[in-house]
Chain A
């Protein structure tokens, strides 16, 4: 019986140590993220204008990659999940 009580004491102590160590790690991560924030890599230097993709019969349709990039950026900006957004139209100025 005393061994069981001992094991319960060990468990409580050990869980406390685990939460303490991982709690310290959380503090370390928060400090790192605070002092070293993410900055987006600089955009690649503009290259010579790429040949324009042939427009479809319905007009100028952006390439899928562009739509995906806009989709992701918009979702990130709005703080939403990409699945919540559905781009229906992009106007080219």
Chain B
């Protein structure tokens, strides 16, 4: 075999990504670097935006085979965990292990604030439909208003996988912007007198109630909305690890190492879905705008319901805790505390806001469950055994 230095050099040059890079990939590389910048220097949800940004960078480097669609590529395997609803429920296991339901159990009516904040999901659903998305896509976009990253990813992967990248980025970006988005809305919708309300100290809760609650709520929610079983089941199992007191090792693992490992896999898988073909579309811009609408409406819904509770309780409920119903644990609760203290420095709303905050997690998962019950058919739900069973039962009933 003849060896020509010039030919070899040319061959090496043509095998590099430099020659294969497309303009769209160039733009996506810039976007990925912006995400990395926001994560590192602006501290925008760094635990998620950093791996998402870097995953996006790798996926858009030509010939790297790192996009989620590259069969046999590394991120194709990671994406398997998203497509087959493995990773988001595992994140929920860790979140459950980190969650204290005490404030919610002490003041169960705050669950209604978590429900009211879901109004953001549905106004965004209507907005998305008005902008030309179909109902499945609109549902996946609307759930951004639940301010719950894993739930958004879970639902997008099932109902609109082609929109997963922009939905995840919008969800996590706006979650990091909660301290900026919420306060103006909270101040606008409440009076100074309402913001100054001091709430009664929460009652202590029996440890037995804390153990039974995750089991009972799993039974209630999953029996009513079976599609959400992977999320709620893992969430409540994680909490049971915490409250049972007999699984210290599992609790410790769930809330630390497991959630960290799964976060890396999930974020990289999401980043790898952000290719030029799927991300550089007008839909992405619409999703970013709708995501902001979702967060604003969710905050407004929570605060307005908080005002209703303020009136019905005879002024005992501070409406500011309603904004925490958007989920985004615990940042939204901290915002309630901060805005409350602006009016009255001796006011401590944090623990009171943790009730609706946790209720928001349950509320957004329930909202996702409702969407799955309504739209989880065809390809979107084909990976779910329960949906397949439901289809069989429905078909047999129809015969």
Contact = CB atoms under 8 A, between A and B. Distances in A.
Given A21-B224, A26-B112, 6 more contacts: A4-B126, A11-B126, A14-B370, A14-B371, A21-B221, A81-B201
Interface string B359-373: 100110011001100
20 contacts: A4-B129, A10-B125, A10-B135, A11-B123, A13-B370, A14-B370, A14-B374, A15-B119, A17-B225, A18-B363, A18-B366, A18-B370, A22-B114, A22-B363, A22-B366, A23-B112, A29-B209, A36-B206, A81-B346, A81-B348
B225 A21 contact: yes
A47 to B, nearest CB: 25
Given A37-B206, A83-B346, A22 B125 contact: no
Give the secondary structure class of B's interface. helix
Contacts of A3: 129, 134-135
B240 to A, nearest CB: 15
A33 interface: yes
A32 B220 contact: no
Interface in B78-136: 104-105, 108-109, 111-112, 114-115, 118-119, 121-123, 125-126, 129-130, 134-135
Contact of B220 (A7, A28, A79): A28
B25 to A, nearest CB: 35
Most buried by A among B115, B134, B138, B200: B115
A73 to B, nearest CB: 11
Give the secondary structure class of A's interface. helix
Contacts of A80: 201
B341 to A, nearest CB: 12
Interface of A: 3-4, 6-8, 10-11, 13-15, 17-26, 28-30, 32-33, 36-40, 75-76, 79-83
B216 A32 contact: yes
A11 to B, nearest CB: 4
Given A29-B105, A36-B208, A18 B115 contact: yes
Contacts of B212: 32, 36
B15 interface: no
A15 B205 CA distance: 29
Interface of B: 104-105, 108-109, 111-112, 114-115, 118-119, 121-123, 125-126, 129-130, 134-135, 138, 198, 200-201, 203-206, 208-209, 212-213, 216-217, 220-221, 224-225, 346, 348, 359, 362-363, 366-367, 370-371, 374
Contacts of A38: 203-206, 209
Nearest to A7: B129
Contacts of B125: 7, 10-11
A79 B125 CA distance: 43
A72 to B, nearest CB: 9
Ranked nearest first, the 4 interchain pairs of A and B with the lowest CB-CB distance are A11-B122, A29-B108, A7-B129, A14-B370
A25 B217 contact: yes
Contacts of B205: 33, 38
Nearest to B364: A18
Nearest to A17: B370
Contacts of B129: 3-4, 6-7
A1 to B, nearest CB: 10
Contact of B135 (A7, A20, A82): A7
B105 A33 contact: yes
A33 to B, nearest CB: 6
A22 B112 contact: yes
A24 B98 CA distance: 24
Contacts of B122: 10-11, 14-15
Nearest to A40: B204
